[in-house]
């Protein structure tokens, strides 16, 4: 009986390992958003660098100035986007004492270290007409939403109060001038939110980018929170890939969610409300979508 020599046995085991695990290795190498590249972040919101009265949300949250409860486990955030588009998120602060002087919110650059090496700079100056500001921080200003008891129109938000509306940029993105958005004195018991725009450069490689948000009162750091931006590996051609998941948001029918988002009244499988309510639609769902 012949016995395989040790060196050949070792080579055979290596070959078997390569055959079994090559697909996984290949995926990691070809997919910049593989979990192998996911950066390590501190997700324990009880740690000292976080604060229970400071939290983050996606763009679609509306936190009133005069009410709102800090969200738990919102000391970190992961958002997704593709090249040449803006991704947005919000930072919220609640005063728990007698007022907070000189509140400010700043955002770092976003850096990918693997598989590519690239930084989305938070530089706030523009030296030429072609240079853009990639990271913009706004202070959200509030408007008092009143309800007229004699009106038959429904109250849009379902309640009255001070809702975020206007966005005041810390840096004017067109002229690069510093504004008076920050620092800002927060009255006792009030909320103050910040809106953050991050422009993903057209040639930013796909992958995970790590940055941070710092909230201060004067020179005192109140919290530093991590934000991860995952950039999809899609072409920057002014459009996104054609997939069924991009057709609708919640109705399961083509264009239904788009219309529902803009004009209430459409229902699943019957978008007549959109055709009736969309300006210049002529009562047609098809026209309403294209108008």
User: Where residue 59 sits, what CATH number does that domain have?
Assistant: 2.60.40.10
pTM above 0.75, yes or no: no
Residue 239 in any domain: the answer is no
> Hey, which residues does 211 pair with through a beta bridge?
227
Q: 198 and 156, same structural domain?
A: yes
What pLDDT band is residue 221 in, cutting at 50, 70 and 90? very high
The reply to whether 68 and 182 lie within a common domain is: yes
Same domain, 174 and 49: yes
Same domain, 51 and 193: yes
Question: Tell me, what's the pLDDT at 153?
Answer: 58
- Using left for φ > 0, alpha for ψ between -120 and 50, and beta otherwise, residue 60 falls in alpha
My answer on whether 84 and 198 are in the same domain is yes
Count of other CB atoms within 10 angstroms of residue 22: 10
Residue 35 lies in a domain: no
Question: Which of 8-12, 94-98, 216-220 has the least mean pLDDT?
Answer: 8-12
Q: Could you tell me if 227 and 248 lie in one domain?
A: no
Mean local confidence (pLDDT), 140-155: 74
Q: Does residue 276 lie in a domain region?
A: yes
The model's pLDDT over 100-136, given as tens digits with 9 standing for 90+, comes to 999 999 999 999 999 999 999 998 766 555 456 899 9
Domain that holds residue 256: 244-290
pLDDT of residue 286: 54
Q: In this structure, are 66 and 196 located in the same domain?
A: yes
Distance from CA of residue 165 to its chain's centroid?
A: 18
**70 and 21 belong to one structural domain:** no
Is the residue at 237 inside a domain? no
Question: Does residue 115 belong to any structural domain of this protein?
Answer: yes
CB-based burial, 25-36: b 16+ in 10 Å, e otherwise: eeeeeeebeeee
Q: How many CB atoms within 10 Å of residue 244?
A: 8
Q: How many distinct structural domains can be found in the chain?
A: 3
Q: What is the pLDDT of residues 251-262, one digit of tens each?
A: 444 444 455 444
Band (149; pLDDT cuts 50, 70, 90): low
Question: Residue 236 falls within a domain, yes or no?
Answer: no
In the predicted structure, residue 242 carries a pLDDT above the cut 70? no
Question: What is the pLDDT at residue 174?
Answer: 80
Q: Are residues 108 and 153 in the same domain?
A: yes
Structure-token pair, residue 228: 């991860």
């Amino acid at each position: 009986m012949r016995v395989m020599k040790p060196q050949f046995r070792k080579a055979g085991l290596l070959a078997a390992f390569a055959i079994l695990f090559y697909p996984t290795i290949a995926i990691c190498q070809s997919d910049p958003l593989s979990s192998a590249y996911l950066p390590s972040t501190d997700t324990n919101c009880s740690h000292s660098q976080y604060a229970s009265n400071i939290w983050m949300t996606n763009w679609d949250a509306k936190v009133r100035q005069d009410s709102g409860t800090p969200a738990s486990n919102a000391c970190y955030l992961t958002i997704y986007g593709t090249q040449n588009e803006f991704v947005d998120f919000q930072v919220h602060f609640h005063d728990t004492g007698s007022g907070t002087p000189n509140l400010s919110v700043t955002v770092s650059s976003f850096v990918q270290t693997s598989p590519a090496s690239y930084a989305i700079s938070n530089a706030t100056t523009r030296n030429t007409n072609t240079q853009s500001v990639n990271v913009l921080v706004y202070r959200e200003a509030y408007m008092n939403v009143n309800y007229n008891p004699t009106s038959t129109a429904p109250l849009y938000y379902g309640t009255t109060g001070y809702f975020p509306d206007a966005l005041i940029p810390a840096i004017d993105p067109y002229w690069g001038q510093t504004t008076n958005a920050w620092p800002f004195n927060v009255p006792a018991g009030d909320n103050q939110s910040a809106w953050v725009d991050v422009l993903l450069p057209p040639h930013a490689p796909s992958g995970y980018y790590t940055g941070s948000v710092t909230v201060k009162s004067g020179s005192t750091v109140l919290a530093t929170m991590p934000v991860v931006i995952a950039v999809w590996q899609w072409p920057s051609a002014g459009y996104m890939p054609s997939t069924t998941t991009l057709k609708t948001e919640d109705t399961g029918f083509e264009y239904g969610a788009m219309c529902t988002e803009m004009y209430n009244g459409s229902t699943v499988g019957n978008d007549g409300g959109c055709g009736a309510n969309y300006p210049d639609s002529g009562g047609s769902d098809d026209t309403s979508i294209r108008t």
